[in-house]
Structure 1
Amino acid sequence: MTSTEIRELRNAPAMLPLFAKAVIRAGVKPGKAPALPDIGIRLRDVVLDSKHLATYRKVCAFPADGHLPVTYPHLHAHPLFMSLLLHEDFPFAAMGLVHVRNRITQYRRINEREQLDVECSFGELVQVEKGYEFSILTHVSTGGELVWESESTMFRRGGGSGGGQSRKTPPETTPAENFEEWKVPADAGRRYGAVSGDRNPIHLYPLTAKLFGFKRQIVHGMWSKARCLAALHGQLPDGAFTVDVQFKLPMFIPATVKFVQEDAADGIDFRLLAKDGVKPHLTGTIRSAG
């Protein structure tokens, strides 16, 4: 996208004003033919805060090994995400968007002392059966070397194409047998929100979640992905690899969940399941990017 207009920032945008703006723009309507603005945002020379990194590791259960956790660069991209979603030409309201998929490719391990350049831009917008899906692309480089990139796919309900095929009866599934059981506390959303800056009300308290139609607060999808990768930390490839996840059913917290991993011919498959060992909160794959 050589014609993309890239706006340079000197500092990361503050999250609280961005959320306030999101509330103001909650009534934005997409119109009959929504289109994404051809824009991007770049933040150069991001210096990592060791205390912030230590807190993130604690919240997500990553060990300290001198390198950034695979999901950590996403935190530096999140304020840029929000700035894109609040651009005056963005056709949807930021409130109500659902993160449905996330793919990260790490080309090499990133030393925690490296300075990073982070750039975010819009990908493709497509109309699906129940609404619209679009992606936000993130590229992280250091010294001109691309070291990390991601594609986050968002869903906006309404205005879909319809005409979907009739649903097939899902196959019967037996509960998982080989798993790790985790207890996810009620404050997990508040703790992750504090370190990530994503203080969306649906993640904080039962009352604030009910205002948006949830019976109680739900955990962040990117916390779930990070927690799974923390459990797999010692098994991640040494070279370039891609970790691709789909976010399924929301995880109402507090919760008891089951983490399942399986060796595949070309990598690792993993799932984060509800207490019954059947219903999925997240499914993912890890594959070499070589």
Structure 2
Amino acid sequence: MAVEELTSDPAGNTLRAALGLIPRGRRTALPSLELIRRGVAIDRDHLARYDQVCGFRLSDTVPATYPHVLAFPLAMRLLTAPDFPFPAIGLVHIANRITVFRPVPADDILDFTVRAADLRPHSRGQQVDVVVSASVAGVPVWSAVSTYLSRAGDSSRSGRPSPASSPSAALSPASAPSPSPASAVWRVPAGVGSSYAGVSGDRNPIHTSRIGARLFGFPRPIAHGMWSLARCLAFFEGRLPAAYTVEVSFKQPILLPSTVSFHASPSRQFELYGKRPHLAGQVTPG
């Protein structure tokens, strides 16, 4: 596997993502490439803005979802590479697994690695993992696997999706909301897509633009999956072990604005749902 080390966050990801919508021949295999970015310092002002958008308390210990934001420019560099099998715009984030090996204080200096792995079939197309790890002085402190779906018949072939393969139809089948009483009910405002885009760098138009959302089969913008996961984890603040893994499956998207119900069990299983389920997850100590 080739290794490319960057000395700063890569620029031009948005432009490369847009150019990726131009129909052209693409490779059928993943690039054999690992990206490395060393010496990433945490900006406390940025961390505070992230905490505010996602519902966390202000703290000098970063939430489990925050390193995903720090590594996002590297992940986008990989997803927008000319030899990546799918265009980045139109990929659907369907699952995520984060492992926290120990708490990460805001004064840690992080080294990140990012690679793509395990291209495999899905009932609606193909799926691929983006594997990210963070270490401090050579010791792993955090890792994540984000699973993305490229839908058959969507923008990877024609530049825009067909109605039959719209994102809302591509994910898990709808089911009834959880019968258990809600632990919390949250109003998700229309502006959360733009607010999260501002702190995460994920400016996919399905989250920020009504026109962009409609081009990909949504009636209006949808919340970022990683925002919804972060909002759920904020509920557990102060009650999580020092080391743990959180796994989540993203189901039906949250159309903005919405009202959603959150349910958490004593074993730290959790769900977020409205008229249909939005996500289901589990926090496991260790």
Q: Which of 259, 262, 274 lines up with 1:259 in the alignment?
A: 262
Larger Cα-atom Rg: 1
What is residue 193 of structure 2 aligned with on the other side? 189
What is residue 5 of structure 2 aligned with on the other side? 8
- Structure 1 window deviating more from structure 2 (89-98 vs 107-116): it is 89-98
Please give the secondary structure, in 2, of the residue aligned with 1:76: helix
The one-letter code matched in structure 2 to 1:99 is H
Alpha-carbon distance between aligned partners in 2 of 1:216 and 1:9, rounded to the nearest angstrom = 36
Alpha-carbon distance between aligned partners in 1 of 2:176 and 2:251, rounded to the nearest angstrom = 17
RMSD: 1.9
Map residues 168-247 of structure 1 onto 2, 5 A cutoff.
175-238=179-242, 240-247=243-250
Please tell me whether residue 19 in structure 1 is matched to residue 14 in structure 2. yes
What is residue 166 of structure 2 aligned with on the other side? none
TM-score, with length taken from structure 1: 0.87
State the shift of 1:26 in Å.
0.9
Please tell me whether residue 152 in structure 1 is matched to residue 146 in structure 2. yes
Alpha-carbon distance between aligned partners in 2 of 1:141 and 1:220, rounded to the nearest angstrom = 26
Please tell me whether residue 104 in structure 1 is matched to residue 98 in structure 2. yes
Please give the secondary structure, in 1, of the residue aligned with 2:197: helix
State the shift of 1:205 in Å.
2.9
Please tell me whether residue 55 in structure 1 is matched to residue 49 in structure 2. yes
The one-letter code matched in structure 2 to 1:113 is D
Please give the secondary structure, in 1, of the residue aligned with 2:57: coil
Deviations 1:176-219 (A, max 9, x none): 32320101100000000000011111111323322322100100
Aligned-pair identity (%): 40
Please give the secondary structure, in 1, of the residue aligned with 2:71: helix
Please tell me whether residue 129 in structure 1 is matched to residue 132 in structure 2. no
The one-letter code matched in structure 2 to 1:176 is S
Alpha-carbon distance between aligned partners in 2 of 1:231 and 1:196, rounded to the nearest angstrom = 20
Deviations 1:83-121 (A, max 9, x none): 111222111111111110000000000110110001101
What is residue 284 of structure 2 aligned with on the other side? 287
State the shift of 1:235 in Å.
1.5
Alpha-carbon distance between aligned partners in 2 of 1:254 and 1:45, rounded to the nearest angstrom = 38
Alpha-carbon distance between aligned partners in 1 of 2:81 and 2:191, rounded to the nearest angstrom = 31
Alpha-carbon distance between aligned partners in 2 of 1:126 and 1:82, rounded to the nearest angstrom = 20
What is residue 73 of structure 1 aligned with on the other side? 67
- Give the direction of change, closer, same or farther, for the CA distance of 1:145–1:126 in structure 2 (3 Å limit): same
| 8 A contact 1:184–1:254 mirrored in 2 | yes
What is residue 164 of structure 1 aligned with on the other side? none
Alpha-carbon distance between aligned partners in 1 of 2:18 and 2:60, rounded to the nearest angstrom = 39
Alpha-carbon distance between aligned partners in 2 of 1:148 and 1:58, rounded to the nearest angstrom = 22
Alpha-carbon distance between aligned partners in 2 of 1:228 and 1:171, rounded to the nearest angstrom = 20
State the shift of 1:30 in Å.
6.3
